[in-house]
Amino acid sequence: MEIGGNIQGLKKSIIQSLKDLYDIEIPQNMLWTEELIASLSRLTSVINREIAVYFNRKGHITNISVGDSATVSLDLVEGKRDPSRLSGIRLIHTHPGASGRLSDVDLSSLKLLRLDMIAAVGVHGNSPSDIYVGIPSAEETETVDVFGPFNPERTDFEEMLEHISAADRVLRNKIETTGSEREKAVLVGVRTYETRTISGISEADISMEELDELAGTAGAEVVAKIIQSREGRDSAYLVGKGKISEIRLLVQAEGADLVIFDEELSPSQQRNIEEMLGVKVIDRTGLILDIFAQRARSREGKIQVELAQLEYMLPRLVGQGVVLSRLGGGIGTRGPGETKLETDRRHIKRKITYLREQLGEIKKQRGILRTERLKNRVPTVSLVGYTNAGKSSLLNALCDSDVYTEDKLFATLDTTTRRLDLGESQILLTDTVGFIRKLPHHLTDAFKSTLEEAVFSDAIIIVADASDPLVEDHIRIVDGILAELGASEKPTIIAYNKIDKLGDRNIAPKTERTAVEVSALTHEGFDTLKNCLKSMLYQMKAQYRIKIPFNKGGNLISWLYDNGKVLNVEYDEAVTIMDVELYKDTAEQVLDYIVEVRSAGSFQTEE
């Protein structure tokens, strides 16, 4: 039999005395014996640490764990967390130098672990002072009835044993609605000396608020948030082992079943933390992947999400099957890749290869469509921006379409293109997946074919939520991601959306780029935005005088009519002279025949 918990520094003789406790049997009609209480009190006073003893309904001690003199550290009862019944496990633990009154952590642990009962023994000197007992209520779910104080010599436990039986019967008869309850989550962030300050606010705090919103989008109920300030990130536990111990107490006190870290955890960090906390642990990347798994609708979107999930999970497969089997499904475990997480690495690698091939085929199809657009020379403009900035709403309002929208993060994953009439010309307006702080590189890689729409578009509209105090920081993050994608040099308009939410319309943008104030709700600023688009597209054109030898004429002249606006045609002795308005990138196709270039509108149109 082993002794769990904090046994560092204990003498071998003490550890042996703790192991000897396994020989004590508690009669089935009792909840403790005077011998057990006396032994626990004596050992507690010697080591000045809490001792917890777990035993089953037959009276056999199944686990012994050591804590410290200031905190309660209660181990999970493996395999006993069944919401439809009590676990059949009882717990007695000591409170060194304190009363036996049950703490909030004690009561939460009783409910979280579905224990039959929890008893706390106050220890002063070498002797027990008082004993309090908590038992799940048979009358009201999720409440605890407290009994005591008692003395160690008590032998009559009939009332409390009947109370345990009644509580168990209530749970057994209760109809469980599986999957309907929201997971309770504790959020954990870290702040170091490298953490930036934005508008007087630490980026760690900003990121934590985003994580809160992400957790809510995923379906979790956030019960607590912690930001640990430290010099650097701990390689084994991110926030340090001591802080993880504190988080463990918080998890027990709040009855949480999920801890979400606002940093990407390494596989070893995730395993270490999960082993200490005893509940499911995911990081920001895992949370975003989970949201994407819920939101993916198209075949391409589902393939991209599954690929990102598998690449993220592959290095985390060691022990992952055990964790999933113990803790069940929920946030961080669902999605297209869920059923493959417990298979072998070789199979997952084959699956990753297959999914990449599928995305390659989709990329080819996108390329064909893009070539057709170039052939027909319909300008394309991509809507990009921070998640929930209103890109899809703006697309719907401008193009009178019905793209799915919702006031949640990442409501849109799939690329959608609609035609926008600008009067004398038309463009194709494309909605793209939203960006966010610390966007996981797994998603950037997997969604590359989707994000390429921005790379290959003629211009970009950065949609920003004007009502958000951090709007300029959001634009900075979007600019950074566009630079990573190689799209930072594209002609750009910044559309400050949601101005209907502002009292003061004077945004005073901190940019030299064209900026427009709009409202997808009221359509305010739409004429200005369309005029800016016309002007931008106009600047992308030029007028060219082209001389084409008669022997080269046919196909080239037809191509110019198909891809440009022919303004005038003249004939010389051996050449055809054409004045044509073309997009500058298109003009590269006839570079050898251009003899003069002017700005758009310079040549006269033929009568």
Tens digit of pLDDT for each residue in 196-253? 888 888 999 999 999 999 999 888 899 999 999 999 999 999 999 889 988 988 887 7
Which tokens belong to 73? 């550290």
Residue 462 confidence (pLDDT) above 60: yes
pTM over 0.75: no
pLDDT at 341: 44
Residue 87 confidence (pLDDT) above 70: yes
pLDDT category of residue 498 using cuts at 50, 70 and 90: very high
User: DSSP character for 70?
Assistant: S
Residue 541 confidence (pLDDT) above 70: yes
Distance CA 520, CA 500 (A): 9
**Residue, of 96 and 432, whose pLDDT is higher:** 96
Which tokens belong to 22? 């396994």
**Residue, of 174 and 402, whose pLDDT is higher:** 402
Q: What is the CA radius of gyration of the chain?
A: 33
Coil vs helix vs strand at 136: strand
Q: Is 460 within 8 Å of 492 (Cβ atoms)?
A: yes
Strands (E), 151-234: 184-191, 197-198, 201-202, 221-229
Q: Is 154 within 8 Å of 128 (Cβ atoms)?
A: no
Within its chain, how far is the Cα of 411 from the centroid?
Answer: 13
Coil vs helix vs strand at 530: helix
Return residue ranges of the chain for CATH 3.40.50.11060: 179-362
Distance CA 218, CA 289 (A): 10
pLDDT at 204: 92
pLDDT at 547: 92
Of 317-331, 377-391, 418-432, 536-550, the least confident? 317-331
Three-state helix/strand/coil letters over 406-456: CCCCCCCCCCEEEEEECCCCEEEEEECCCECCCCCHHHHHHCHHHHHHHHH
The tokens 């107490």 sit on which residue? 249
Region 192-198: mean pLDDT is 89
**Pairing mode, strands 117-124 and 61-66:** unpaired
Q: Is 385 within 8 Å of 436 (Cβ atoms)?
A: no
Which tokens belong to 270? 């995730």
Distance CA 164, CA 88 (A): 9
pLDDT at 403: 64
Of 65-69, 343-347, 467-471, 599-603, the least confident? 599-603
Residue 36 confidence (pLDDT) above 90: yes
User: How buried is 299 (Cβ within 10 angstroms: 0-12 exposed, 13-18 middle, 19+ buried)?
Assistant: exposed
Return residue ranges of the chain for CATH 3.30.70: 541-599
Residue 178 confidence (pLDDT) above 60: no
Query: Each residue of 577-596: pLDDT tens digit?
Result: 999 988 887 788 888 899 99
* The CATH number of the domain covering residues in 179-362: 3.40.50.11060
Query: Each residue of 546-561: pLDDT tens digit?
Result: 999 888 777 888 888 8
Residue 34 confidence (pLDDT) above 90: yes
Residue 307 confidence (pLDDT) above 60: yes
Return residue ranges of the chain for CATH 3.40.50.300: 378-538
Q: Is 209 within 8 Å of 187 (Cβ atoms)?
A: no
pLDDT at 323: 40
Region 337-348: mean pLDDT is 57
**Residue, of 365 and 83, whose pLDDT is higher:** 365
User: DSSP character for 593?
Assistant: G
Within its chain, how far is the Cα of 6 from the centroid?
Answer: 33
Of 150-154, 219-223, 406-410, the least confident? 406-410
Residue 337 confidence (pLDDT) above 50: no
Neighbours of 301 (CB within 10 A): 21
pLDDT category of residue 174 using cuts at 50, 70 and 90: low
Of 118-122, 232-236, 501-505, the least confident? 501-505
Q: Tell which residue, 25, 36, 3, 31, has the closest CA to residue 116.
A: 31
pLDDT > 90: what percent of the chain? Answer: 35
Q: Tell which residue, 598, 479, 586, has the closest CA to residue 542.
A: 598
Q: Is 306 within 8 Å of 335 (Cβ atoms)?
A: yes
pLDDT at 446: 59
pLDDT at 256: 85
* The CATH number of the domain covering residues in 3-173: 3.40.140
pLDDT at 347: 77
Residue 68 confidence (pLDDT) above 60: no
pLDDT at 326: 36
Handedness of CA 452, 453, 459, 461 (dihedral sign): negative
Of 205-209, 373-377, 429-433, the least confident? 373-377
* The CATH number of the domain covering residues in 378-538: 3.40.50.300
CATH 1.10.10 fits 541-599, yes or no: no
Cis peptide upstream of residue 149 (ω within 30 degrees of 0):
yes
Handedness of CA 41, 47, 48, 50 (dihedral sign): negative
Q: What are phi and psi of 67, to 5 degrees?
A: -110, -145
Distance CA 294, CA 220 (A): 13
Residue 360 confidence (pLDDT) above 70: yes
Mean residue pLDDT of the chain comes to 82
Distance CA 286, CA 460 (A): 29
Distance CA 49, CA 45 (A): 8
Residue 437 confidence (pLDDT) above 80: yes
